[in-house]
A and B are shown apart, each in its own frame.
Chain A
């Protein structure tokens, strides 16, 4: 008799425990995603992040939840959103480059994983790639430092005498140094360069007008969040003015731009997803070094070339990693 009662007691306790555990476990670990632009522009990055998380064993909705905050090109909203995420007690924050400052200000204890196109050390995000700071690490797709190389590639396409306009964003971090690098490249190549600045979308039209008026025969589109986020407009403008343009990412080329050279930000987000997974499993951000890309792609859009009536040398085409017809 006593034995039976004992067994009932144990069975009851065993059944009660999962309920209790469920009650405790119902809030999933929360990942906060803070971005300065809109969700529409960032679809591929979000996909990459999800991909990376699933490779690390976390499925959105299954064992992790992601809170998205889009500032929609209004940087002044970022601090409040960052603070909100902190209040929500997110386990990790994933931020794009421009949102990093707000995130850092909002919390110095919540782990932050950034995704940026800049050189993190150059731009002062972290002290060293090897050992980033205590709660900060991330992935760079390294687009801005490649500007000279990209300029060199564009230089191959355009007749030597023509002027290449460089459309640069002066608001990015280290913009002056970057500009000087581009100018040095053009000098090394013996190419005349025209620097045009545009700090916001409204300035695109006038900028292009200036470029056309100056007689430049190609546009080197600089890097930076603004230009990335508004690449469609830039592509449209370039094509309207029948100007071959080079970009730092593949998306503009897919949208109709002529060529691009750079690493994939989707892949960078995937790597960031891996890092988020590891931090959720207990790794410390300071132990995770900042990753740089291993592959850089040269992409051409042949249709655009045809429209521009531009002959791409077969040698250059042979070196392309991808050709869009």
Chain B
């Protein structure tokens, strides 16, 4: 598939590229349809032409047999009529010489007659003329009992059986009676070799033949005369049996396949030669008979193959035209589905596929818009939420601050009242008031903490801290309370050091243990450390009621308490503070809990190399004044989106922002804006520039050490080490606004502090 630069997908393909299941299916289907059509056509044609061919062959063979039989019949009739001339004169008339002359003339005109004898009306031979032997006159041999006389007298004509002279020449006796009363009978001996000449000229196809069988089944005439002269017996052939069985009056039967006298397979037909009772057979070799049919089948087969080949190539072509757009759409849809909403499918087939591709394109465009819209909306909502949250926290901070005054006063009044109270009853009352005031104090402190955290005004002071110190503080704080409740508190100390803000991390641990003590009714609490890689996990384990799965996220919410009824004296803010502090310090917190057995909170704090002594923090965590307003920040990042995001945040907090994508751009901008208060640079810029080098060059150009920190999308430990080695702070992208603000505040504050 080819892709164009503007993200459009257009169709082009080689055969190998488009050879998928759909393509093969179409080609196979096309081929199958054409094959079925062609095959059925061929089969029909062949079937019909076979039938037609066979019936026409039968017709032709039968006609040939009948024509040939007619020829022979004609020959015999001619013979008869010629011989008939000699019976014209009755014996009483005419001289013997005349008769002899008539006889000799007959011999001349009819070569088939070898001998003619004339019997008088009593059957005595009066004359015999011969071609070979001497003529005999008045022999008076008595033939009156012979069939050649008696039959001729009875039926006018007598066809004698075929006999062989000297066992090699076929002859037949033909005798005719005269028409007159006294006419007598003429007897002719007919040499049937001359019939052979007629038969041998009958053409049956290329290699077929015609032959004649007499009434006894003996071969009378055959193209191969030697078969005749050898007196071949044909009665064993199936077709001869059938022909003789059918009788002389039956019409020619349909053709059947049989074997000829030489054993070849032939198609035969026969016709009777009526007066003689002979049969004319016509035979055609089966191969020759069916040769045109086989040729037609071969032609059809070749046509079928050619048609299949054509269909195959046409199928390839057509399927390709169909499949390529479908595949284009499929791949385009896959890309869109895979998230590349800028993908467009270009198909110009002018049919439903083009409409489908257009639908996909408009769908992708709509999705793009929706996403953009959604992202915008999400941003807005988030922004609104943040604003609302911030407002809420600020309100709380302000409100609690305002409420502190009366509370402070209340505390003082309580003290005074205690002094004044003399009665025990009064004293108890005062104590209860004191407790309530303390609770209110605590509540307001907690609220203020949260609002401070939410406002992002807490700045962190990261130092190396010995864990032992933290753990001791915990133990000191809660040992008494735990003992009072009957719980065991075990704090396992450690010599490890961590990097964190001492006050804030202490606060986290104090809140966790306070919760543990508050909510555990029996058993104990264990606080310990576990080293994992570069972190130390500080764990607070209790044997409390445990936290159900579905509430685990909720417990870190504000004012959330698991059991609504029993407050155990808490406001539900402790874990909310823990949650925010952990986010601020970037210490992941983990909760493992089994309902009914207990819970374990685990805070991961980065470990630090052990140091000799711990410096107590000097500065107290305080609300940082709004140091951001009006400050000029230069942000250098080659990622436009990051520049936009960070610049937007900074502007929201009241900073002036210069967003550039390279060192040169930054240097160029300085002329217009003047000296910046803060530099934020990406760790690695375009063209291989390093953020560290960029900051250094900028500082050199400005002549002062402007506060700066680095952004990096790369969380590899090397980055941290390099950053630490360079002395710069490193924030990981994506930067949460709170952390960004904290870092910016911290650096600006330091600057101020330094300047002051």
Contact = CB atoms under 8 A, between A and B. Distances in A.
Interface of A: 121, 128-131, 142, 145-146, 148-149, 152, 185, 188-189, 287-292, 294-296, 298, 315, 318-319, 321
Contacts of B101: 315, 319
Nearest to A287: B226
B167 A130 contact: yes
Contact of B111 (A128, A188, A295): A295
Contacts of B131: 149, 296
Listed from nearest, the 9 A-B pairs whose CB atoms lie closest are: A289-B229, A129-B168, A130-B167, A130-B168, A152-B134, A294-B193, A319-B104, A148-B134, A289-B168
Given A149-B132, A149-B133, A188-B134, A130 B108 contact: no
A152 B135 contact: yes
Given A149-B131, A292-B168, 5 more contacts: A121-B166, A130-B230, A188-B134, A291-B229, A296-B132
A227 to B, nearest CB: 20
A142 B225 CA distance: 19
B132 A145 contact: yes
A146 B230 CA distance: 24
Given A129-B166, A319-B104, A146 B132 contact: yes
B105 A319 contact: yes
Contacts of A128: 166-168
Given A145-B132, A152-B135, A292-B169, A130 B229 contact: yes
Contacts of A295: 111
A233 B221 CA distance: 43
Contacts of B194: 294
**Among B132, B134, B193, B225: residue with most chain A CB under 10 A:** B134
B130 to A, nearest CB: 7
Contacts of A296: 131-132
Contacts of B193: 294
A294 B134 contact: no
A298 B132 CA distance: 12
A287 B230 contact: yes
B19 interface: no
Interface string B110-137: 0100000000000000000011111100
Nearest to A288: B226
B301 to A, nearest CB: 24
Contacts of B225: 291
A90 to B, nearest CB: 22
26 contacts: A121-B166, A129-B166, A129-B167, A129-B229, A130-B167, A130-B168, A130-B229, A130-B231, A131-B230, A145-B132, A148-B133, A149-B132, A149-B134, A185-B134, A188-B134, A189-B134, A287-B226, A289-B168, A289-B226, A289-B229, A290-B168, A292-B169, A294-B111, A294-B193, A298-B108, A319-B105
Which label, helix, strand, loop or mixed, suits the secondary structure of the B interface? mixed
Contacts of A130: 166-168, 229-231
Interface in B150-205: 166-169, 191, 193-194
Contacts of B166: 121, 128-130
B105 A318 contact: yes
Interface string B429-472: 00000000000000000000000000000000000000000000
Interface residues of B, number: 24
A121 B166 CA distance: 10
A319 B132 contact: no
A170 to B, nearest CB: 23
A152 to B, nearest CB: 5
Contacts of A288: 226
Among A130, A131, A288, A290, chain B packs the most CB atoms within 10 A around the CB of: A130
Contacts of A129: 166-168, 229
Contacts of B134: 148-149, 152, 185, 188-189
B232 to A, nearest CB: 11
A290 B107 CA distance: 24
Interface string B239-267: 00000000000000000000000000000
B108 A319 contact: yes
Nearest to A318: B105
A129 B134 CA distance: 23
B113 to A, nearest CB: 11
Contacts of A298: 108
Contacts of A319: 101, 104-105, 107-108
B224 to A, nearest CB: 9
Nearest to B196: A294
Nearest to B194: A294
Contacts of B229: 129-130, 289, 291
Tell me which of B111, B133, B168 has the highest count of chain A C-beta atoms within 10 A of its own C-beta.
B168
A248 to B, nearest CB: 13
Contacts of B104: 319
Interface in B353-403: none
Nearest to A271: B225
Contacts of A290: 168
Nearest to B193: A294
Nearest to B108: A319
A219 to B, nearest CB: 19
Contacts of A294: 111, 191, 193-194
Contacts of B231: 130
A121 B231 CA distance: 18
Contacts of A287: 226, 230
A115 to B, nearest CB: 17
A149 B194 CA distance: 22
B130 A149 contact: yes
Contacts of A142: 132
Contacts of B230: 130-131, 287, 289
